[in-house]
Chain A
Amino acid sequence: MGFAAGWYALALGDGLEPGTSAGTQLFDKELVVWRDASGASHVWEDRCPHRGMRLSFGFVRGNHIACLYHGWQYDEAGQCRHIPAHPSLEVPETIKVPTYASVEAAGMIWVQSAPEATEPPPADFAAVPVRSLYLDRAPEMVALLLEAGLAGSFESLSSSTFGIALDGADLFLALQPYGAERSALHIARTGGDLSPKDIAVWAEDLRATLEALPAIAPASAARQAGALA
């Protein structure tokens, strides 16, 4: 099983403060998620066109992001606007960082993995963001194990989102296919009043379970899910 082109959560929205950036990956491709001074979030290829440095190593200045190496600055559309070594230069429009469509919904920052994806953006609903959980496990296997109910009574809401009821709270989990052998689960509370810290503790147990479970085949996952239904 693979993941279709579509919308994937990359981070919790409130975890990315205005004027900061974070590096991440989706399907092994390096992305920078950053929030400008006005509060808008952006998802770009994490690569300065100048020398290939990761932009997530750099700094947000106002509504521009600046590369750590030589300070080249890019505006909200990815267009280079300032090259410190050539301060009077009118920067050519060809110096541009590839950008991705992104939205904030359900307390998370989502990116459209490919421009040709036709799926609509994720629905927004009230959610209390709790934490992002990073796993040394292939995303396909994480999805299979969750669907098969081997790590708890999860409900599959889509191929990459899951729900679970936990001690009177409703949780929403969005799977980020980080790379071939790594995944992230972004976790928010959508109902109930279990404390975020208690949910974070539960999430550590979930990570331990998901990393320890033996691999399963898709067919057996479906069988086990059927048996549990």
Chain B
Amino acid sequence: MSLVLHDYELDSDSYKVRLLLSALGIEYSKVAVNVHPGHEQRSPAYLRLNPLGNLPILVDGDTTLRDSGAILCYLARLHDGDGQWLPADSQRFGEVMVWLFFASADLAPATLARLHDMLEVPADRDAAIAASRRAFRIMDDHMTKRELEGFAWFVGDHATLADIAVFPAIALSRDFGVDHDEYPALRRWMRRVRTIPGFITMPGIPDYH
């Protein structure tokens, strides 16, 4: 069985998948896509794999998947027998889903703001940053209350897909000029994420050692 990730090093959604693959200790091969300046993800060959023209794309034998959230769930279902990353328990599962959908909808402006500042993708920058800050505030309020109740992670008592899905947007926010000053609970949680066994970095997300 060959697992192939079509990947771009600077893409925060591809990074989520690389991070989970590393945490799960899964062998895979990586195809580097020339997103900038080549826009290769929108070439006819890539549009046949993913008509949305974005990354990541995971090819696993006959299965071709787009959308980092879907790919995270697929990999967890297939390779995480203990259900650590995608809990089987209905309540925990539902709570993880809340943050996976939050990551793809409410954190989309953060992804856009970063692409605007780094790769000159057109955007209403002020609106994207205002929406990013609203989302980060919701995350910080959540982790503030979680910590006050003695918990360290977004859902349950260990790291889940929820943590992986929402991590890159805030960890990379300085790329688009949003500092971490206003998010003390997220600052502490981001240090914890770096302690996940198999944690890997990407440009803009340094390790602390």
User: What residue in chain B is nearest A130 (Cβ atoms)?
Assistant: B148
Interface residues of B (CB under 8 A from A): 137, 141, 144-145, 148-149, 174, 179-182, 184-185, 187-188, 191, 206, 208-209
Could you tell me the distance between the alpha carbons of A132 and B144 in the complex, rounded to whole angstroms? 9
Asked if B148 contacts A200 (CB within 8 A), the reply is yes
Determine how close the nearest CB of chain B comes to the CB of A29; give it in whole angstroms.
12
Of B180, B184, B206, the residue contacting A132 (CB under 8 A) is B184
Interface residues of A (CB under 8 A from B): 11-12, 15, 17, 20, 22-25, 57, 59, 68, 130-132, 134, 178, 182, 184, 195-197, 200-201, 204
Could you tell me the distance between the alpha carbons of A12 and B144 in the complex, rounded to whole angstroms? 12
Asked if A15 contacts B184 (CB within 8 A), the reply is yes
Given contacts A12-B184, A20-B191, contact A197 B141 (CB under 8 A): no
Asked if B191 contacts A22 (CB within 8 A), the reply is no
A-B contact pairs, 12 of them (CB 8 A): A15-B184, A17-B191, A22-B180, A23-B181, A24-B181, A59-B208, A131-B144, A178-B181, A196-B148, A200-B144, A201-B145, A204-B141
Of B141, B149, B181, the residue contacting A25 (CB under 8 A) is B181
Asked if A22 contacts B141 (CB within 8 A), the reply is no
Could you tell me the distance between the alpha carbons of A101 and B179 in the complex, rounded to whole angstroms? 24
Could you tell me the distance between the alpha carbons of A149 and B3 in the complex, rounded to whole angstroms? 62
Of A11, A182, A197, the residue contacting B184 (CB under 8 A) is A11
User: What residue in chain B is nearest A24 (Cβ atoms)?
Assistant: B181
Within 8 Å CB of A15, what residues of B? Answer: 184-185, 188
Could you tell me the distance between the alpha carbons of A172 and B102 in the complex, rounded to whole angstroms? 34
Determine how close the nearest CB of chain A comes to the CB of B142; give it in whole angstroms.
10
Within 8 Å CB of A20, what residues of B? Answer: 187-188, 191
